[in-house]
């Protein structure tokens, strides 16, 4: 049977396959968690802002000096912008990121009593914080399933697994929210991010080392 003649997967069949994928992810990545090192909601928020178009490894090298120089959100709000820029320079787009850090810190201090808000609608009002960043904070720190974090790994692997055909992160998130149990939204993202880094990488997916091959329509296909 050719690809053109293949019977499209029904929504019910896709949900059944998704459940099997989740079970395998639990076997392969039982302890998956956020790779950004943090010890507070503010540190996680700051690290996530810095992670835009930057690796978590690089962010984790930058944040210790940042948090040592300015330990609290109030300290960052009062920090000289030029020094913040120097501290985060190697994460790329450092001027915008430093401005977002300082602006978010100032708003948290002046509008939220110095505490990072836990609600999505409040988080997205902070400079430099869009839905993806807010989902990281609400899910990882506050334990709230407000959505699915869609970074480059989640986007790529979810499409390869045919859990979505969409390309835009917002539409991918909506598809995943409809497909996956709400209790799995946060964990799915952590597990898929680990899988995308370790096995299903962008250029040469290691299908021969993947526990999801029996469930993946893209197995052994070119990226």
| Residues catalogued as catalytic | 132, 151
How far apart CA 123 and CA 134 sit, in angstroms, is: 6
> Which are the contacts of 113, defined by CB distance < 8 A and separation ≥ 6?
none
> Which are the contacts of 47, defined by CB distance < 8 A and separation ≥ 6?
36, 37, 38, 59, 60, 63
How far apart CA 179 and CA 132 sit, in angstroms, is: 18
Q: Hey, how many other C-beta atoms are within 10 angstroms of the C-beta on 28?
A: 16
H-type alpha helices, the chain: 11-28, 41-50, 56-69, 73-78, 81-88, 94-111, 120-123, 131-136, 152-160, 169-179, 185-198
How far apart CA 213 and CA 223 sit, in angstroms, is: 15
For the chain, the first-to-last Cα distance in angstroms comes to: 22
From 54, 48, 146, 41, select the one nearest 93 (Cα to Cα): 54
């Amino acid at each position: 049977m050719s690809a053109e003649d293949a019977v499209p997967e029904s929504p019910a069949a896709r949900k059944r396959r998704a459940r099997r994928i989740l079970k395998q992810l639990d076997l392969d990545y039982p302890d998956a968690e956020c790779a950004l090192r943090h010890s507070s909601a503010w540190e996680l928020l700051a690290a996530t802002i810095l992670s835009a178009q930057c690796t978590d490894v690089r962010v984790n090298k930058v944040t210790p000096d940042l948090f040592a120089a300015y330990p609290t959100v109030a300290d960052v709000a009062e920090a000289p912008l030029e020094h913040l820029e120097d501290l985060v320079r190697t994460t790329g787009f450092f001027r915008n990121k430093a401005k977002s850090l300082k602006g978010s810190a100032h708003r948290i201090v002046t509008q939220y009593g110095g505490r990072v808000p836990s609600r999505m609608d409040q988080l997205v009002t902070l400079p430099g914080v869009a839905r993806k960043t807010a989902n990281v904070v609400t899910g990882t720190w506050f334990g709230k399933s407000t959505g699915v974090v869609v970074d480059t790994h989640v986007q790529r692997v979810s499409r390869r697994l045919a859990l979505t055909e969409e390309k835009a992160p917002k539409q991918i998130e909506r598809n995943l929210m409809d497909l996956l149990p709400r209790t799995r939204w946060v964990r799915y993202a952590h597990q898929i991010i680990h899988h995308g880094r370790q096995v299903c990488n962008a250029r040469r997916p290691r299908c021969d080392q993947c526990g999801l091959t029996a469930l993946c329509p893209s197995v052994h296909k070119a990226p």
